[in-house]
Amino acid sequence: MGSLPTEQYSPLSNHFSLLQEVVEGSSIENSLLRSYKRSFNGFAAKLTDIERQKLASRKEVVSVFPSKTYHLHTTRSWDFIGLAGTVERNAAAESDVIVGFIDTGIWPESESFNDEGFGPPPNKWKGECKGGKNFTCNNKIIGARYYSTSNESKTARDDIGHGSHTASTAAGNKVKDVSFYGIAHGTARGGVPSARIAAYKACYPNGCEEASLLAAFDDAIADGVDIISISLGPDLPNADFSHDAVAIGAFHAMEKGILTSQSAGNSGPAEATVGSIAPWILSVAASSTDRQIIDKVVLGNRKTLAGIGINGFSLNGTTFPLVDGKNVAVSDCSDSSFCSVGCLNSTLVKGKIILCDKPQGDDGASSAGAVGSILKNEPFQDDASIFLLPASSLSVDRHDIVASYINSTKEPRATILKSEAVKDRNAPKIASFSSRGPNIFAPEILKPDMTAPGTEILAAYSPIVSPTSSDEDKRRVKYSILSGTSMACPHASGVAAYVKTFHPNWSAAAIKSAIMTTASPMNATKILAAELAYGSGQINPTKATHPGLVYDASKEDYIKLLCGLGYDEKDLRLISGDNSTCPKVSTKTLARNLNYPSMTAMVKPSKSFNVTFHRTVTNVGFANSTYKATTFTKSKVKIVVEPEVLSFKSLYEKKSFVVSVTGGQRVLPTDYSMAPSSLVWSDGTHSVRSPVFVFALLT
């Protein structure tokens, strides 16, 4: 997107003029979809291939790229990560912080968004309430907009539930005595309950169009939000930043001091699946809390098997006949073991509990008249789902026990108990669905950046949609339990807003650095891809307000990075929105030398290596302070930090250092072999931790 000229200039008129030059035989008004004119200069239009080529060839056009569709990455959690209701808060500053949510809209009547006790919006707010018919903002939800096409609802009201859930997770009010049918009962609240909310509805049942996402960024930046939370992303990682609407919008936000927090994606545990890859974005993985929701299957022989599932139904302990899906098929279907819709003989299924081989979904069992279903977990599945019927998802070995019981018993019976919450002493663990690195476009920028709670999160919901999103499900709830990096992202957004209340003048990069360098190290045991899964570690809100040192970065630093990654002038300006050019230097800036809070290098397998990282830290702790470097590694590498001591005489003083990592050819013998280490700067009060991560990959 281009920048807005400072002289008298009408972007909309200019956009119409450009289209008049290239559009053939149709109305210009029908071609122009969106005009971005508040925070950056650009537009979205319907064009033929020939028209697109004509437009791209014009010298005043920075770039033309196709609009893609992005998808959503779908209580106890704040206490678990240390942000209890009693922690130190700057109440007046928190009330002035505005968090913008680009999502599915919001349900303004929810108790989580009640404005009782709130004063008028802060003076810096420049936005409006354009929520559509019967939508009213208040002093909590101070702004709302929607970006619909002709086939979508003309309202910012949330008819999916996702946007209300994310907004209340980050900034919802304290609401007592909430639960999902008695499950996870307690008090729901956001990380910054006194903060204001601006809702930008860019997502609908079919997804989130890039044209709408850019329009939402354009408005959010101009409206005056402090943090942008965006729990969505592409199905597959983008090949570069210049064709990523979120990366472009977030770059413009960063220029204005606004940090964008984005969900990493739900394509784990496979490697190289992380969809949030831009270094100016805080990319958030999902981890568990110490509350796990389970339900239990009790067989007729009184054997009890624990599974995972959010079952709000009660069968009152009554046992029902139990059948195996593979034995109750209609004649022309071979998928009955998976309980697929249309494959089950309703005469043989009605009034019974059915055993299915699939991991999720009980719509086939429901449509055939079953009273419950027992499903089979995928090997890495660790989050509970909500079902249409009483249901439990069992591990493979427990599922086999049920199958064996059916085969060995003349009249097998079972019941499924209502879900309960149990203590998980192994938390936090990375969720299996959470997308992993490496960053496919810039492998030496470690992504995700960190992790936050994202499994089984109870938060506000839309009361006009069922908790399963199925038309068969007639239940309606005000609060629901969801899992996904979509749920982790608003935890990070809430922490970013919390840090902002203590440091209102910090840059987006400084806030991001504070969150990353104070994150708690994770236990790498049994975690696939370890640092590629959790980045710097588990978010620690209270420590993030006092990081000691920060790794700051400016627009110019990111421009140098883009140049080092090989961007030409045209694509560079598509992201920057101005006349940025690459510096006239003989050597390019390596991605590993961006002033990033983590340090990552990619080398070739079975080769000796010697890599260096150049960094600069800014003192935000005590004016007179001395930090000493300590390194930790379980790998056979040698790490040298030069200098090993940094002494500061004043606040905001900067000091530079170099980290060198060397290893022999046996250290990283194969693709995706890894040498994880860390560097900690400490003055005795603050511990400033950075992952130092070297991995091997053939390129």
Residue 8, pLDDT score? 56
**Which residues sit opposite 519 in a β-bridge?**
none
Is 481 within 8 Å of 293 (Cβ atoms)?
A: yes
Match 């090997």 to its residue by tokens.
379
**pLDDT tens, residue by residue, 589-640:** 899 999 999 999 999 999 999 999 999 999 999 999 999 999 999 889 999 9
Report the 10 Å Cβ neighbour count for 208: 27
Residue 235, pLDDT score? 82
pLDDT at 59 over 80: no
As a three-state string, the secondary structure of 423-492 is ECCCCCCECCCCCCCCCCCCCCCCCCCEEEECCCEEEECCCCCCCCCCCCCCCCCCEEEECCHHHHHHHH
* Interstrand relation of 196-201 and 141-146 (parallel, antiparallel or unpaired): parallel
Which sequence positions are flagged as catalytic? Answer: 103, 162, 486
pLDDT at 560 over 70: yes
**pLDDT tens, residue by residue, 289-310:** 999 999 999 999 999 999 999 9
**pLDDT tens, residue by residue, 372-398:** 999 999 877 888 999 999 999 999 999
Non-local (6+) Cβ contacts of 281 within 8 A are 246, 247, 250, 260, 261, 262
Percent of the chain with pLDDT over 90: 73
Sheet containing 207-209: which strands, arranged edge to edge?
203-204, 207-209, 69-72, 232-233
36: confidence class by pLDDT, cuts 50, 70, 90: confident
Average pLDDT on 189-205 reads 97
pLDDT at 73 over 60: no
* pTM of full prediction above 0.75: yes
Distance of alpha carbon 247 from alpha carbon 262, whole angstroms: 10
**pLDDT tens, residue by residue, 234-285:** 888 887 898 899 999 999 999 999 999 999 999 999 999 999 999 999 999 9
What's the token pair of residue 539?
């978010």
CA dihedral 427, 428, 430, 431 (to 10 degrees): 60
Distance of alpha carbon 391 from alpha carbon 547, whole angstroms: 45
Residue 258, pLDDT score? 99
pLDDT at 578 over 90: no
> How far from each other are the two terminal CA atoms of the chain, in whole angstroms?
31
Closest CA relative to residue 417, chosen from 323, 319, 320, 317: 317
Residue 381, pLDDT score? 81
20: confidence class by pLDDT, cuts 50, 70, 90: confident
Give me the domains of the chain, ranges plus CATH numbers: 11-64 (3.30.70), 73-267+280-290+430-518 (3.40.50.200), 293-420 (3.50.30.30), 549-553+594-696 (2.60.40.2310)
Distance of alpha carbon 663 from alpha carbon 660, whole angstroms: 10
Per DSSP, the three-state class of 212 is helix
Average pLDDT on 565-576 reads 87
Average pLDDT on 100-124 reads 98
Match 């800036």 to its residue by tokens.
589
Phi-psi region of 82 (alpha: psi -120 to 50; beta: other; left: phi over 0): left
Q: Which uninterrupted H or E stretch holds 192?
A: none
